[in-house]
Structure 1
Amino acid sequence: MALDLRTVTNEQERQDAFTVRKEVFINEQNVSVEDEHDEYDETATHIVGYIDGEPLMAARLRFVGEYGKFERICVAKSHRGQSLGKQVIEYMEMVTRDGGYQKAKLNAQTHAEGFYKSLGYETVSEEFMDAGIPHVTMIKVL
């Protein structure tokens, strides 16, 4: 099962990333369309991952202050537990370093906090609500 992770360069890839985000965040987690798609979608770097041509993971990267800010990270339910999320994070870290940044920051849903800790992220905030879902802010020096 070869994972084809790429930085979005055309409208089809962008729509594929949005399709995965819609499935995970809007349909599965009941996040509102207004919360899921914001003004940053126009300027952020989008990442999409395919297996056998099917889009199954997506993420968004923005550069904010001294951080690469990792957002909207998701893997289709049918493909969780296969270390695809880890591969997405490693890819985002590479893109961040290539952009000249040495730190990554993300707001993790609390159920995924252990996953990010296993990848070297450190929790730096109290729990807070975002789109009705508990989150914590986590950072990592790359």
Structure 2
Amino acid sequence: MSDIAILTAPVFSTLANAAFAVRREVFVWEQKVPQEEELDHYDLTAIHYVAISEGDVVGTLRLIDMPEHTKIGRVAVRQAWRGRGIARKLIEKAMADKRASGKNRFYLTAQSDKLALYEKLGFVAFGPEFIDGGMPHRAMRDYDKATATLLD
């Protein structure tokens, strides 16, 4: 496998357009999430990251600064590139960058079948399972772990 480069992508850049294309491929075409739910107003202010390999954008995620934490979202890796640790590398880089700027509380909503990935990165699930984009999800955070309770 070639090296993976993780870069930030300004929202109105060619890299961001490639990130949005990956998201469309994964969420809209593959997972059947309605297009109007996949893109939202947060995309204009989020920090977008891309994973690049062999000259192509193969993965992406976004960070949204919120008062109580930084929300990690829209983690997507092209199907042919899965299983190579790309999502983990994206998340680790994004979290490291935020920690360097003094932010150290992270939150996300994970598809329920992807919980193990985020647990390996120090997240714990809490609250009830809910449907988002037609798929079951769980809220997860990497802080206040002792009070994280699952509800079913």
CA drift of 1:66 comes to 2.4
- Between the aligned partners of 2:46 and 2:65, the Cα distance in structure 1 is 8
Q: Which residue of 1 aligns with 2:148?
A: none
CA distances 1:32-53 after superposition (whole Å, capped 9, x unpaired) = 1100001111111111111011
> What SS does the corresponding residue of 1:126 show, helix, strand or coil?
strand
Question: Match for 1:4: what amino acid?
Answer: A
> What SS does the corresponding residue of 1:129 show, helix, strand or coil?
strand
Q: Which residue of 2 aligns with 1:4?
A: 5
CA distances 1:103-133 after superposition (whole Å, capped 9, x unpaired) = 1100000010111111111112210011111
Name structure 1 gaps, 5 residues minimum.
Answer: none
Question: Match for 1:105: what amino acid?
Answer: Y
- Between the aligned partners of 2:55 and 2:24, the Cα distance in structure 1 is 18
- Answering whether residue 7 of structure 2 is matched by residue 13 of structure 1, we say no
- Between the aligned partners of 2:133 and 2:21, the Cα distance in structure 1 is 19
> What SS does the corresponding residue of 1:2 show, helix, strand or coil?
coil
Name structure 2 gaps, 5 residues minimum.
Answer: 144-152
Q: Scaled by the length of structure 1, what TM-score is found?
A: 0.95
Q: CA RMSD in A?
A: 1.1
- Between the aligned partners of 2:60 and 2:9, the Cα distance in structure 1 is 10
- Between the aligned partners of 2:39 and 2:82, the Cα distance in structure 1 is 23
Question: How many pairs does the alignment contain?
Answer: 141
Equivalent of 1:48 in 35, 50, 60: 50
CA drift of 1:59 comes to 0.5
Q: Scaled by the length of structure 2, what TM-score is found?
A: 0.89
- Answering whether residue 26 of structure 2 is matched by residue 24 of structure 1, we say yes
CA distances 1:43-91 after superposition (whole Å, capped 9, x unpaired) = 1111111101111001010111221100000111101111111101101
> What SS does the corresponding residue of 1:6 show, helix, strand or coil?
strand
Percent identical among aligned pairs is: 33
- Between the aligned partners of 1:33 and 1:119, the Cα distance in structure 2 is 29
Structure 1 stretch displaced more, 75-84 or 96-105: 96-105
Structure 1 segments (4+ residues) deviating >4 Å: none
Contact 1:96-1:102 at 8 Å conserved across structures: yes
- Between the aligned partners of 2:23 and 2:101, the Cα distance in structure 1 is 24
